[in-house]
Amino acid sequence: EVQLVQSGAEVKKPGESLRISCKGSGYGFTSYWIGWVRQMPGKGLEWMGVIYPGDFETRYSPSFQGEVTISVDESINTAYLQWNSLRASDTAIYYCVRRDYDHLLGSYFHYFDYWGQGTPVTVSS
């Protein structure tokens, strides 16, 4: 069974650093792109970026480029989303997602088939 299991809720102060995680299981982790999606309180979903664990190729939304860092540790099937200096406006739920792969055609689909349970992040002084 494919699962994306995220790390638990975090409460941080402005200016602090943070790294949250997403562990994939039940599939070949290095063969599927993993992405991150933000949901601010009472707001919609926003695509942040993706990473390919096989070669660490990363793409970011222009809105998040330079604001966060997406990385992976393929040895433990885990993707990360990292901030160096948090702001109150980073308060949100963060979801990791998996990009599906078409085994028949040998190419990637352009949608997200599995979602993590979400990691709530609260940044407050």
- CB 46 → another protein: shortest distance, Å? 6
- Torsion sign over Cα 99, 89, 23, 118: negative
Binding mask 90-109 for another protein (x = CB under 8 A): -----x----x--------x
Question: Measuring CA to CA, which residue among 1, 4, 2 is closest to residue 119?
Answer: 4
Q: Does 62 sit near another protein (CB under 8 A)? A: yes
Q: Does 23 sit near another protein (CB under 8 A)? A: no
Q: What share of the chain is helix, strand, coil (3-state, %, to 5)?
A: 5, 55, 40
Alpha carbon distance 116, 2 (integer Å)? 10
- CB 50 → another protein: shortest distance, Å? 6
Q: Does 2 sit near another protein (CB under 8 A)? A: no
Q: Does 20 sit near another protein (CB under 8 A)? A: no
Stretch that binds another protein, among 13-21, 30-38, 68-76, 78-86 (CB under 8 A): 30-38
Cα-based distances in Å from 74 to 11, 23, 45, 111: 27, 10, 27, 22
Q: Using CB under 8 A as the criterion, which residues of the chain lie in contact with another protein when the complex forms?
A: 33, 35, 37, 44-47, 50, 57, 59, 61-63, 95, 100, 109-118
